[in-house]
Amino acid sequence: MTPRVHTLSNGVRVVCDPLPAWQTVALSVVAGRGARFEDAARSGWSHLLEHMVFKGAGGRSAREIVEVIEAEGGHINAATGYERTSFQVRALKHGLDLGSAVIADLVLHPTMDAHDLAREKQVVGQEIAEAADTPDDLVFELAQQAAFDGQPLGRPILGTTKSIKGATPETLGAWRAELYAPHTLVVSAAGAVDEDELLKLAERDFGGADGAGLPAALPAAFTGGTRTQAKRLEQANLVLLLPAVGVLDPDYFALRLLAEILGGGMASRLFQEAREKRGLAYAIDAYSETYADTGVLGVFAGCDAKDAVELAQVTAGELQALTEPVGDTELARAKAQLKGSMFMGRESALARAEQAAGQVLLFGRTLDPEAVAEEVDAVTPAQLATLTQRILAERKTAVAILGPKAALAAAETFEGALFA
């Protein structure tokens, strides 16, 4: 059964996905705003705010927030992305009442103590430093900067030590009111949940939220470029990005399938050619990263520095080959993998709640899984070839390479081989 969507008088939307046989419930409260809505001076504030609300809210201390949930067998967490921020509680059956009350306090009634903020800035600063010291985090950050240079999507979600330093309890509190405005909020529950109970709790806990909030994000543009850093590492880390389509584009599922065929699994073209046949990489993977209006087709590889140039050539060659229609067997396998991951993900109540919230934010409704599977099945070999041609026609790449100097030439090689 497709989950039903209700709207409170203040614009908060509520999604209920009851699963009668389940003994657990998951609640996800998602704001359709995140790091993409920050200017440079407030870079990282959405993530910092997500940290801060857990330091005290609704009269509970940081310790009490966690203890009250765990005492009932539950777990609480949160996550900040570019386009949304989510707060989640997983609990035993009948844990919805407490979970809703606690999350509402986090979202609407945080304490914002100055001493807590000073400490949390130190914690986030350590996260920023850790990311800079972790090669397979840093290389993705460099690639994102190259892809969307000078735009919010090109800045790290964590921000910088300079940008988070400027936050005060007052300015961060004002940012909270803009970020978590009612028209951006979706309260989504799945599992052992009763629809009438959920609606009553949503009205009790979120019905009083107010504020106009932030406007829609400005359109993003894939600029492209190169970011290389010579570093004394045992292996080279490469991220190769191409401009692609967003979630709302008719070719969205074609993009997902294209990434699967290119490098989504052990049967994929890159895994078989670069790793199994040539032994050029210990790890290689293709993926799509999508936002509402844009996206990227990406390849990550870890390899010996001396193999980086050849690996870039191989990757370019496999991309060019996809401008021709793929075989029916290869496409059928990719479709099976994509549908398998989608349906297996729905075996988790939290994944169902998060997925439903995301769909409501993007489409204003939830999507029938069977209808989605039909859309995947409808993708043709010709559609994949046309999409690849469309991607390459922009003649833009964003390349990040981190590792020994011998690997850095792979950046120029990739673009040269791709557009020769």
Q: Where are the beta strands (DSSP E) in 53-135?
A: 56-57, 60-61, 75-80, 85-92
Amino acid at 414: F
Token pair of 83, please?
């386009």
Nearest to 88 by CA among 16, 17, 28, 25: 28
Tally of CB atoms within 10 A around 155:
24
* Residue 248 C-alpha from the chain's centroid: 15
Whole-angstrom distance, CA of residue 392 vs CA of residue 400: 18
* Residue 44 C-alpha from the chain's centroid: 15
Whole-angstrom distance, CA of residue 85 vs CA of residue 157: 11
Q: Where are the beta strands (DSSP E) in 222-278?
A: 225-230, 236-244
**Mind telling me the catalytic residues?**
50
Q: How many Cα atoms within 13 Å fall on the side-chain side of residue 357?
A: 30
